[in-house]
Structure 1
C-alpha cells in the first residue's frame, strides 16, 4: 500500500471540518440512466424518518439528522461517528419532471430517482423533402446527380 499525500491531506481537512458545529455534506453520486437521473447519497446510521426531501421550484434539498444514543456516562476511546445535520442542495435545471421525483432509502443509501420530462428526452427529427411530403431516409445514400438536384433545391 503506497502513501498518497493528497488523500491524507483530504482526510485531515475533512476531519477538521467535520468537528465544527453546523451542517455536514453527504457524499453522493449522480448519473443519468436512460430517461431519468439517479442520485445516490450515503447516509449510514441515519433513521429514515429523519430524512427530508423537498423541491422548491428547481431546487432539490435533502436534509437528514444523525443522533447517537448512549453517550452519557461513557468514556470514549475513539469517536469518529458524529451526530449532526446533513444537507445537500441541487439546482435541477430545466427538463426535469419535479412531480415524478421518488426516493428510496436502503442499507444506508438514499436513492432519488429524478425523471426527465418527455420534451427533454433525446429524439430523432424527421426530415421532409422539399420536393414532396415523403420523409427522407437518413441512412439512404444519394447518387451524385440527385445530390446536385437537392443542393439546387436548397439554394433556390
Structure 2
C-alpha cells in the first residue's frame, strides 16, 4: 500500500493496526508563517487520518513502514497460513 503524504513531517506519521483496520494518522504544518495571508493552498494543514480495512489473510504483525519523497509505503505481507492454503 502507498499513501501520498507530501509535506508531512515523518515524525508525525503514526500507523496503527487494530482488529484488521489500518489507521494512518499524520499532521501537515503550514509552510508559511503565522503572520502570512494565504490566498490559496493546495496542501491543507492540520491533523488527518486514513483508514483501510484489511483482510484476514494478511499478516498485520509484519508491516514495515518507510517514507520517502512524500510517499508512505506499507508493504503488507500475506499471512503464512493463507499462503500455504493458496499453494495447495
- Tell me, in whole angstroms, the C-alpha distance in 1 between the residues paired with 2:82 and 2:64: 19
Q: What are structure 2's unaligned runs of at least 5 residues? A: none
CA shift digits 1:26-54 (9 cap, x unpaired): xxxxxxxxxxxxx0000000000000001
If you compute each CA radius of gyration, which structure gives the higher value, 1 or 2? 1
Find out whether 1:85 has 2:26 as its counterpart. no
Partner of 1:65: 27
* Partner Cα separation in structure 1 for residue 47 and residue 81 of structure 2: 37
Shift of 1:77: 4.2
Q: 1 or 2, which has the higher helix percentage?
A: 1
**Shift in Å, 1:84:** 1.5
User: Residues of 2 paired with 1:111 and 1:74: CA distance?
Assistant: 33
1:95 corresponding residue in structure 2: 57
Distance 1:41 1:69 in 2: 20
1:48 counterpart residue number? 10
- The alignment yields a C-alpha RMSD, in angstroms, of 1.5
Structure 1-normalised TM-score? 0.51
Superposed displacement of residue 71, structure 1 = 2.8
* Count of aligned pairs: 86
Where relative contact order (Cα < 8 A, 6+ residues apart) is larger, the structure is 2
Question: Which one is further off, 65-74 or 100-109?
Answer: 65-74
- Greater shift in the superposed pair: 104-113 or 86-95: 86-95
The TM-score with structure 2 as length reference comes to: 0.85
The unaligned stretches of length 5 or more in structure 1 are 1-38, 126-156
Out of 99, 104, 109, the position equivalent to 2:66 is 104
